[in-house]
Structure 1
Amino acid sequence: MSDPVRCMTVCRVCGKEDWLDVLSFGPMPLANNYLAPAPSYDDEPRFPMDVIVCRSCWLMAIRQVVSPDVLYRHYVYISSDSRQILNHMRDVANLAVTRFHLPAGSLVIEVGSNIGTQLEVFRSMGMRTLGVDPARNLADLANARGVETLAEYFGEGLAGTILEQYGHPRLILGRHVFAHIDDLTDVINAATRLLDPAGIFAVEVPYLLNLIEGNQFDTIYHEHLSYFSVGTLRRLFERHGLRVVDVARFAVHGGSIVVFVGQAESQWPTGKAVFELEELEVRSGLTNEVAYQRFAERSGRTMRELGALVRGLVSQGKRVAGYGAPAKGNTLLNACGITARELQYASDTTEFKQGKVLPGTHVPVVSPAYAHDHPPDYFLLLPWNYAKEIIGREKSLLEQGIRFIVPIPEPLVVSNESLKDAAFSLSHG
C-alpha cells in the first residue's frame, strides 16, 4: 500500500513553492473517522495538520495530503436535510438554470453528489441528472433512491465514458467538493472536455474571507485540502484556459461562494460580482500576510478560552454535552483539548454515527432521544453555523434552564434570559 499521507511542496493552483506557515494543529484524527467503542484507541490514525498560504496566489491549504482512499471509500457524511440546506440547494439550482438559460432536458452532472439530494432538485425542474461520487455506500443509497450515480472519482478517465453514454452536460456542479481535491488539473480537464460551448462548471466552496474574518478554524480538517478566494479561483481557471463568468455569495455553511466557470470564449459576459469580490478581498487583507498571522493568533486564543470554559463548568459539577457531531466539531474538540472527560456525549441525528465515538476525543455519539432523556446543563453547539435554526427550534430546552455554548467566532453562552434581553440576536448561522 502506498504512503497514506504526503506533504505538498508545489502550490496546486499556481505551481509556485513560496509558502507562509500559518497554524499548526499537531497530530489530528481524521474528522470523519467515527469509531466503534473499544477498550483502547491506541491504533487510531492521526496525521499532522499544518495550515499554509501561498504567497504567490494566496491559496490557503493544508500541507499534509491524506490519501483519498483512506478518507472517502466509506464515507459517513450524508447531505443535510435541514431547511436551510434544502433552501440553499433550490437557490443554487434556480440561479444556475435562470442565469445560464438551461432548457428542460439538459444534462446536469454533480461531482460529489452524495445521496442525490441536490440532483433531485434539478430533476424536479425537468433536467436529466447524473451523480458522481467515490463513496460506494453513498452512491448505493443514491441509486436506491432512483438518482443515477456512478461510484467513481471524477476525472479525465471518467469523462470519456460519460460522453459516450450520456453526452455533453450543460451544467457540471461541485458543491463543497472542490476543496477536497488534490489533483485539480485532472478535474478541470475533465470538466473542460465535457462542457459544450455554452456549458458551465459551477463550483461551490467555503469562502476564505468568511473563514478568516469569522475565526472558523474548526472548518479546517484533512479532507479540506484547499481554502479559496475568488481571486485564487480566477487564477486557477485562467491557467487552464477557462474564465470565471460570475460568482454568488451565500451565508450557508458559515459563508460560501458559488463560482460559475465557462470556456474562455464562451457567450457569457463576466458579471460585476467577480470584480467586486476580488476588490473586497484585497481591501480585507487576503493578499497580505498580516491577515493570516492575526487569524492564527485569534484562533489560538479561542481554543484556549473554550477549553477553559468547558473545563471550568465541569469542575463546578455541571454536565456538558455536544449538540451535533459534525466533522468540524472534531477539529474544534481536539484543538481545544475537550474529550470524553468533559463531554458526557454528543447527540446527533445521523444514524451512521450513533453508537460510535468521536475521533480523537472518544466522546460517545447518541441519539436525540437519549439526549432528551439525559439532558445536560450545557450543550456545546458544534454545528454553530446552524445556531439560529437550532436555538430557534430548541427554545423549550432553554426554558428548562439548559444553556447553549456557541463556540465560534468566540465562545458565547446563550440562555433563555439572554434571548429575552436580546443579548443574543440569533445572528449566528
Structure 2
Amino acid sequence: MQDIVRRLDTCRVCGRDDWLEVTSFGSVPLANGFLDPADLPAEEPAYPVDVIVCRGCRLMAVRHVIRPDVLFRHYVYVTSESDQMTGHMRRIVGWCTRRAALAPGELVVELGSNIGLQLGLFQEQGQRVVGVDPAENLAAIANARGVRTLPEFFGGDQGRRIHAEQGEAKLVLGRQCFAHIDDVHNVLDGATAVLAPDGLVAIEVPYLLDLLEENQFDTIYHEHLSYYSVTTLGHLFQRHGLRIVDVERAAVHGGSIVVFAAREGSDHPTRPSVGQLLSLERQRGLDTDAAYLEFAERAHQVITEIGDLVRDLAARGLTVAGYGAPSKGTTLLQFCGLGPAEVRFCSDTTSLKHGRLLPGTRIPCCSPEQARAQEPDYYLLLAWNYAEEIIGKERDFLSRGGRFIIPIPQPRVVTAEPVPAVA
C-alpha cells in the first residue's frame, strides 16, 4: 500500500502544513475500481477518505493521495452525452470564444480531454485543437474521432512541446479534471508555457461552496484530491503570474464554476463576478473552520438516513436498484454500507461498466435495457446531478407506481404526481 498511497502533509497550493481535520469517511476501495466477476479478488484494497482543509488558502482536500497511474491509466468515466451536458459544453465554447476572442485557426489545448467531445465543438468552429489525457483507452477513442489527443499527463514538458510543435494557444482549458491533479503547479507551468500573451486559462471545477451547502459528501473520493473555491484558485493562479478575470457558475455536477485567468499585465479586465464570489465565500464562512465542521455533521447524519431508508424498504420486501453507477454513486453506497442485499443492481449507460461489479459493495452493474426487464419498486438515483432530465425521461416508470429516492442533499422520495423540477 505504501507505494500506491502517500499522505498529504503540506498544502499542494500554498505549501503550508496547518490543517483543519474535518472528518473521516473510513477506508473504501477506489470509486472507479469496477470488478470482473470472473476474476474477483478475495479482498479489495481500501484506502482512507479523510477530509482536511488548509488554514492558509482554504483548499479542501483528501489526506491520502493515490498514485495517479493507478487511478487514470485505464479509466471508465466517459464524458456524458446527455442533453444537459451537451448543452453545457456548447455554452463553454461560447463563453471561451467571447472572452478569448477565439478566431478560426487559433489553438485550443485541453487537459483531461477524455474522448474529445469538448474539443470537437471547438473544431466545428474552426479552431486547431490538441487534447492531453492520461487514460490511454479514452485518448484512443478521441484520436479515432479525429481529435488529436496525447495519452499523457499534462505538465510543463507537455506544454513546452505543444508550443514548439503547434505554436501558442489562445485558450488552455481544463474541464472537471483539476480536482484530480496532485501537482497543480506543474500543470500550470505547462499552461503558461503554451499560453499566448493575450490568451486565457479556463478551469472548470465543482464549486466548494455548493458542495458544502448542498451536502454533496458523495463527491468526496480518492480521485477528487482537491475541492476549490474562487479564493483558493486565486492563491494558486497568482503563483504562476495569472489573475482571475471572470467566473461563471454552472448547474452541472451539482454546481460548478468556470474560472477564467489571464496573464498579469494583460489587457483582460477583471469582471465584477470575481469580487462578488469572493465576497459571497466570506459571507458563507469559507474562511472559518465552522463551515466545514457543520458540513461533516450533516453528511454523517444523511449517510445514516439513506442507509436506514433503503434497509427498511428491503426489510419490507420492496426492491431497490441504483439508477446510474457514477463515482459518486459507488462512493455513496460504500459510505452508507449498502450491498446487493439492499440494492439489487445498478443500471448505467456506460458500456465499460456493464457486467461488472461495483467496487466495495459488489453490486452488479447492467445496461438500461437489462434493467427494464427487472424493474424495481424504487430507484436510488445515484446520478442525482441529472435528476430533472432522468425523472422527465422515466415518467412511465413513475406512472406504473415506481418511485425514485433522491439522496442529496437529504433523502426524499419522488412519485408520479407531481414530477418536480429537481436541480
Q: TM-score range by the shorter chain?
A: over 0.9
Letter of the aligned partner of 1:167 in structure 2?
Answer: G
Matches within 5 A, 1:204-283: 204-283=204-283
Q: Is residue 197 of structure 1 aligned with residue 197 of structure 2? A: yes
Q: What CA distance in whole angstroms lies between the structure 2 residues aligned with 1:367 and 1:152?
A: 31
Letter of the aligned partner of 2:392 in structure 1?
Answer: G
What is the match of residue 348 of structure 1? 348
Q: What CA distance in whole angstroms lies between the structure 1 residues aligned with 2:418 and 2:204?
A: 35
Q: What CA distance in whole angstroms lies between the structure 2 residues aligned with 1:116 and 1:191?
A: 18
What is the match of residue 73 of structure 1? 73
Does the residue aligned with 1:210 lie in a helix, a strand or coil? helix
Q: What CA distance in whole angstroms lies between the structure 2 residues aligned with 1:160 and 1:296?
A: 42
Task: Give the count of matched residue pairs.
Answer: 423
For residue 38 of structure 1, report the CA deviation from its aligned partner: 4.7
Q: What CA distance in whole angstroms lies between the structure 1 residues aligned with 2:291 and 2:418?
A: 32
Q: What CA distance in whole angstroms lies between the structure 2 residues aligned with 1:128 and 1:239?
A: 29
Q: What CA distance in whole angstroms lies between the structure 1 residues aligned with 2:143 and 2:27?
A: 37
Matches within 5 A, 1:56-67: 56-67=56-67
What is the match of residue 426 of structure 1? 421
Gap runs ≥5 in structure 1: 420-424
Q: What CA distance in whole angstroms lies between the structure 2 residues aligned with 1:357 and 1:381?
A: 18
Change (3 A) 1:39 1:75: closer
What is the match of residue 422 of structure 1? none
Q: Is residue 310 of structure 1 aligned with residue 310 of structure 2? A: yes
Q: What CA distance in whole angstroms lies between the structure 1 residues aligned with 2:149 and 2:99?
A: 26
For residue 39 of structure 1, report the CA deviation from its aligned partner: 7.7
Q: What CA distance in whole angstroms lies between the structure 1 residues aligned with 2:418 and 2:311?
A: 22
For residue 313 of structure 1, report the CA deviation from its aligned partner: 0.1
| Shift >2 Å, 4+ stretches | 38-43
Matches within 5 A, 1:137-148: 137-148=137-148
What is the match of residue 44 of structure 1? 44
Q: What CA distance in whole angstroms lies between the structure 1 residues aligned with 2:295 and 2:80?
A: 29
Letter of the aligned partner of 1:214 in structure 2?
Answer: E
TM-score by length of 1: 0.97
Gap runs ≥5 in structure 2: none
Does the residue aligned with 1:276 lie in a helix, a strand or coil? helix
Letter of the aligned partner of 2:346 in structure 1?
Answer: A
Segment of structure 1 superposing worse, 322-331 or 42-51? 42-51
For residue 43 of structure 1, report the CA deviation from its aligned partner: 3.2
For residue 314 of structure 1, report the CA deviation from its aligned partner: 0.2
What is the match of residue 366 of structure 2? 366
Does the residue aligned with 1:196 lie in a helix, a strand or coil? strand
For residue 40 of structure 1, report the CA deviation from its aligned partner: 5.1
Does the residue aligned with 2:351 lie in a helix, a strand or coil? coil
What is the match of residue 84 of structure 2? 84
1:303-322 deviations in Å (ceiling 9; x for gaps): 00000000000000001000
Does the residue aligned with 1:209 lie in a helix, a strand or coil? helix
Letter of the aligned partner of 2:422 in structure 1?
Answer: S
Percent pairwise identity: 55
What is the match of residue 394 of structure 1? 394
What is the match of residue 339 of structure 1? 339
Letter of the aligned partner of 2:357 in structure 1?
Answer: V
Does the residue aligned with 1:90 lie in a helix, a strand or coil? helix
Q: What CA distance in whole angstroms lies between the structure 1 residues aligned with 2:42 and 2:270?
A: 53
Q: What CA distance in whole angstroms lies between the structure 2 residues aligned with 1:161 and 1:292?
A: 41
Q: What CA distance in whole angstroms lies between the structure 1 residues aligned with 2:158 and 2:379?
A: 45
- 2:100–2:171 CA contact under 8 A, matched in 1: no
What is the match of residue 20 of structure 1? 20
Q: What CA distance in whole angstroms lies between the structure 2 residues aligned with 1:6 and 1:364?
A: 31
What is the match of residue 8 of structure 2? 8
For residue 196 of structure 1, report the CA deviation from its aligned partner: 1.2
Letter of the aligned partner of 2:142 in structure 1?
Answer: A
For residue 160 of structure 1, report the CA deviation from its aligned partner: 2.2
Q: What CA distance in whole angstroms lies between the structure 1 residues aligned with 2:40 and 2:173?
A: 42
Q: What CA distance in whole angstroms lies between the structure 2 residues aligned with 1:38 and 1:332?
A: 25
Matches within 5 A, 1:43-192: 43-192=43-192
1:105-146 deviations in Å (ceiling 9; x for gaps): 110011000000000111111111111001100000111111
